[in-house]
Structure 1
Amino acid sequence: MDSAQTGVAARYFDGHSSRAHPVTVSVGDGHAELRGADGAVLRRAALASLRVSERIRRGPRLVTFDDGAYCEITDHAPFDAMLAATGYREGLVSRAQNSWRLALLSLAGIGTFVVLAYFYLLPWTAALVARTIPSSLEARLGEATLKSLDEGLVKPSALPPADQQRIRDNFAALRRPDDPAHDYRILFRQGGPIGPNALALPGGTIVVTDELVRLVGTGAGMMGVLAHEAGHVSQRHGLQQVFQASVVGAMATYLLGDVSALLATVPAAVLSMHYSREHEREADAFAVEVMRDNRLPVGALADALQALEDAHGPKRGGQAADAAGDEEAGFFSTHPLTKERIEAIRGGG
């Protein structure tokens, strides 16, 4: 600008001593001038050679010269007016730091991103990572989970060997979609605290509790439940849920190849996970397809799930229980069920 501006009070540090010199700063003709208490010009420099620190709400601003000397200014309002007159404009970050409106918009943007990442980006990433996990690693994760189960949650099965073998033989005889990545095996355990349940472990092992066999038998209903679990395995739903629950460790495993951390956390994650509603629908569709291909009544799967619903009714407040009630005990701790799902399976038959 061409005309001189009224000076702004400042403290000048010349870089040679710690002494502060009281000065006034003014601008004119593209230059800044520092004048001492007696009005004498102490220093003159081109505006383009100066560095102005970002504005902080209560902190002083610094005007630094090219040799390291600087002025400290605390009278913000007149200094801001002086800067505006020279055409100086704060950067976006600085303006945002001092604007409640921009700060709130930034927080809203971050919140929106977090929500979208949690509901869309994280599941998509988890599915991508799960599909790229080698079968050998998936099998190791399944063995680690089974070991954790056997060491504290379940007991050896008391089911007659003939019943166990009948279920294995019937499942092996089912025509199922090709799944060369998994070697399926059916194991039996007394469920104890997990009650009537079937757990699909990474790698293809399906653990069936004695309580579930007593509840639904060894026939078509059991085959429907096992086909449902096979759907979870084939589409690696369990791995996806684990990765979503322990995303940091899972990504470290994926990027660095160190599986020790994941091996340590997967058993607890598998045993405490909750399949998403979408995963349940996909596993239901898989089971319905298997039952149709094998000429088994689809309604038998719905009957088995209804028996589970009824068995847990007293703990869940009956069929009127909401989604929160679905997660309280037994089969429902890992397989959220609703009346609508059961009706959808019956309708699919």
Structure 2
Amino acid sequence: MIPVTFFDGRSSRAHPATLAVEAQQAVLRDDSGAELRRAPLSDVRVSERVRRAPRLVTFADGAFCEITDHAAFDHLLAATGHRDSLVARAQNSWRLAGLAVAGLVAVLVLGYYVLLPWGAGIMARTVPPEVEAHLGKLTLASLDNGMVKPTQLPPAEQQRIRSAFAALKRPRDAGHDYQILFRQGGEIGANALALPGGTIVVTDELVSLAGTGAGMMGVLAHEAGHVANRHGMQQVIQGSALAALSAYLFGDISTVLAGVPAAILTLRYSRDHEREADAFAIEVMQRNGLPPAALAEVLVRLDNRRGAASDAEPERGQDFMSTHPQTQARIDALRRAGK
């Protein structure tokens, strides 16, 4: 038996007593040995152990006793076959608590790097084409509101690029109506932006660097790959995960859509998205007898131009290489595809 402090549940008065287990029953006696309570073990409730706090044994009628001798009580419980829950044991074990924290971190990392992109991809594909097209118009309006200026390219040169892109054999993409628009880059420099719905904005600076031939067709095919795979929408949804989850569950996407224009203009594609867009561009170029290496050479020129600019005076805003992360592996893959 072990010493306890007994409370009858009717008053706040404490009574010294002892607790024992006899024939699978909890037996509570006072100092004189008189029996105060007797109940089957299945009818009593044992509180979880919390460090040095007293543990409670509560009877069916609300009476309970406090136990401060943890070692003696643990021995008594072990003799009855009682075992604390995993949660209770974890709360009192640095090892189990550490494992729980490590498990939580692993789940969060898995959710952020795997489940969140996967879920965002699913949600992006459920956005209706008409909504996506409307978002593209809003984004273009934001772009024209001081970020870029009207194009200085001759109309004939603009039409030559549009006609060449329209003539390309591309994978079927019924949800998007592609159109090529030109702007003077200003803050964004040599760049191409794929807007929701299929509009691709190309800056004069990029045309000057890439020309109007196979390299430019590769850039446009790459941007079409972002549109076809809805990478922009996916990135926006990932960036506003909580609002996006609410929209998916309750059907109100206004909170997500309101921030799309600004997010599209500042997004940075992931490496996986860049690889997918490159694969799309390679397929388009090979279908049309164009060398994928031409796109690789444009990337090299952009990279060299950016390096020269940063040595002299850093450019403002974001250019193509900052919004489309470039790696040597991408350039090598494009060059290998042409062999």
Give the alignment's TM-score, normalised by structure 2.
Answer: 0.91
Q: Which amino acid is the alignment partner of residue 201 of structure 2?
A: V
The residue number in structure 2 matching 1:21 is 15
Distance 1:22 1:203, change over 3 A: same
Q: For residues 78 and 315 of structure 1, what CA distance do their matches in structure 2 show?
A: 76
Matched, 1:171 2:165: yes
Q: Structure 1 unaligned segments of length 5 or more: list them.
A: 1-5, 318-327
Distance 1:116 1:108 in 2: 12
Query: Which runs of 4 or more aligned residues in structure 1 lie more than 6 Å from their structure 2 counterparts after TM superposition?
Result: none
Decide which of 177, 182, 188 is 1:183's aligned counterpart: 177
Pick from 36, 41, 64: which aligns with 2:35? 41
Gaps of 5+ in 2: 312-316
Which structure 2 residues correspond to residues 98-177 of structure 1 after superposition, within 5 A?
98-177=92-171
Which residue does the alignment assign to 1:334? 323
Structure 2 letter corresponding to 1:255? L
Given the alignment of the two structures, is residue 67 of structure 1 paired with residue 61 of structure 2, yes or no? yes
Q: Aligned partner of 1:64: which letter?
A: T
Residues 159, 210 of structure 1: 8 Å contact kept: yes
- Which of residues 1, 4, 11 in structure 2 aligns to 1:10? 4
Once the two structures are superposed, residues 278-329 of structure 1 have per-residue CA deviations (whole angstroms, 9 ceiling, x without a partner) of 2212211221222222233333222221211111113567xxxxxxxxxx94
Distance in 2 of aligned mates of 1:200 and 1:79: 69
Q: Pick which of 158-167 and 62-71 moved more.
A: 158-167
Confirm or deny: 8 A CA contact 2:237 2:256 kept in the other structure: no
- Does structure 2 retain, via aligned residues, the 8 Å contact 1:34–1:44? yes
- 1:75 and 1:151 map into 2 onto residues whose CA distance is 74
Cα separation, 1, equivalents of 2:229 and 2:215: 22
Q: Does 1:348 align with 2:312?
A: no
Q: Return the alpha-carbon distance in structure 1 between the equivalents of residues 112 and 11 of structure 2.
A: 55
Q: Take 2:331 and 2:68, find their aligned partners in 1: how far apart are those partners?
A: 71
Aligned to 1:323: none
Q: 1:207 aligns with which of 190, 194, 201?
A: 201
- Code of the residue aligned with 1:292 in structure 2: it is Q
Partner of 2:239: 245
State the partner residue of 2:278. 284
Question: Which amino acid is 1:131 matched to?
Answer: R
CA contact (8 A) 1:228 1:283 kept: yes
- Paired residues in the alignment total 333
Rounded to whole Å, the distance in 1 between the matches of 2:86 and 2:296 is 59
Once the 2 structures are TM-superposed, how far is the Cα of residue 266 of structure 1 from its aligned partner? Answer: 1.8
- Secondary structure of the residue aligned to 1:11 is strand
1:125-145: CA deviations, max 9, x gaps? 222222222212222222232
Q: Which moved more, 1:95-104 or 1:307-316?
A: 307-316
The Cα RMSD (Å) is: 2.0
Structure 1 range deviating more: 186-195 or 63-72:
186-195
Identity over aligned pairs, percent: 63
Task: Name the CA distance, whole Å, in 2 between partners of 1:95 and 1:342.
Answer: 54
